[in-house]
Structure 1
Amino acid sequence: MAGRGKKNNVATIIPVYPREELLAKSEALFGVKPEVLHGALHGDVRAEFPLEEVKSMIKSFLKRRIS
């Protein structure tokens, strides 16, 4: 059986999106207001982010304790 047991060495490309676009469409993409996304991204100087990472950052931000 040809091809059986061989691994495909193709790298997975993860799309990234500009911060401004994510903020503009935060309610449609993540179900949160832009202010929440801004708080979740605060301190991260990158200009582009993958969606799954942003979702994780939002979840973490919303679980933080307020002191």
Structure 2
Amino acid sequence: MIFIKQGLSSTKGQTEENTAVAVGYAKEELISHSQELFACPPEVLIGALLGKTETAFTIAETKQFIQNFLQRKVQE
């Protein structure tokens, strides 16, 4: 599991606000739990992540990748 800190940085005495911590998971971990997390078989998630160079993904972005993959037109 990888933690990614996102938010606004402090500038000229202002405090840091709107800080959110996004949790990234390894591709293999997401694939092994694809049915529980995304209600799809591992093969669908493998196809959705095909060609991605990142090593960790958040749940939200992975759901978006799956949705984009399933809506993609089939090439002949």
Q: TM (normalized to structure 1)?
A: 0.84
Greater RCO, CA 8 A, separation 6+: 1
CA deviation digits over 1:26-66, x for unaligned, max 9?
A: 00000011110000000101110000000000000000010
Distance 2:16 2:27 in 1: 33
Number of equivalences: 62
Larger radius of gyration: 1
The residue number in structure 1 matching 2:8 is none
Distance 2:19 2:43 in 1: 34
The residue number in structure 1 matching 2:45 is 37
Higher helix share: 1
Distance 1:18 1:8 in 2: 29
- The letter for the 2-side match of 1:14 is A
Gap runs ≥5 in structure 1:
1-6
Q: How does 1:1-67 map to 2 (within 5 A)?
A: 9-67=17-75
Three-state SS of the structure 2 residue aligned to 1:16 is strand
Gap runs ≥5 in structure 2:
1-14
